[in-house]
Amino acid sequence: MKDKGFFLVCAVFLAVFIFFAIFSAKFEMLSGVLLSTYGLVGIFLLVILMDTIIQPIPPDLVMIWLCASGLDVVAASLIVGIGSCSAGILGYTIGRGIGASKFEKWFGKGHLEKGKGLFDKYGIHAVSLGAFSPIPYSSVCWTAGIYGMRLKPFFITALLTRISRFSLVGFLGSLL
């Protein structure tokens, strides 16, 4: 095997994915314990963890739980949205660390060139789509870093769309 790092990264992602899939039922309990023990700082840190690593449980569940529990939608949207954007910067940094050369080594020149062309053409729109839709936000952040998107437009786009998304999710959660 040429690059053990690639397989290590894949193994870690698989382990995290399996962990979150198995323990998703305990997730709501964890959110409640974090909120009652550590307050909103605990929720903020949980969201950072959830959105930095590509895994199957989105922070929307935290948002729904917070608003269904009676927390103000605006406050919850800001806490979860800013936590998610902080995670986005971490994911972007991970992507920058991986870089285009390692990506090319792992997935081939064709995938690199195709992805680079698409990201150069639709970068801000890709971030908006990934930040607002069910597409894993962390994967879009990593991709933005890998392809060298400028940080400022990345962050502003992510901040506006993530807070908007969590405001909508929070409103729906408050209806519960």
Report the alpha-carbon distance of residue 7 to residue 110 in Å, rounded: 20
Tokens for 16?
């995290």
Question: 10-14, 42-46, 50-54: lowest mean pLDDT where?
Answer: 10-14
Pick from 67, 98, 113, 76: nearest CA to 5: 98
Q: Which residue has the higher pLDDT, 27 or 22?
A: 22
Report the alpha-carbon distance of residue 149 to residue 75 in Å, rounded: 30
Total domains, the chain: 1
pLDDT for position 64: 81
pLDDT(35) > 70: yes
Tokens for 28?
């709501």
Q: What is the pTM of this model?
A: 0.75
Domain range for residue 110? Answer: 4-174
pLDDT single digits (tens) 60-86: 888 887 887 778 889 989 999 999 999
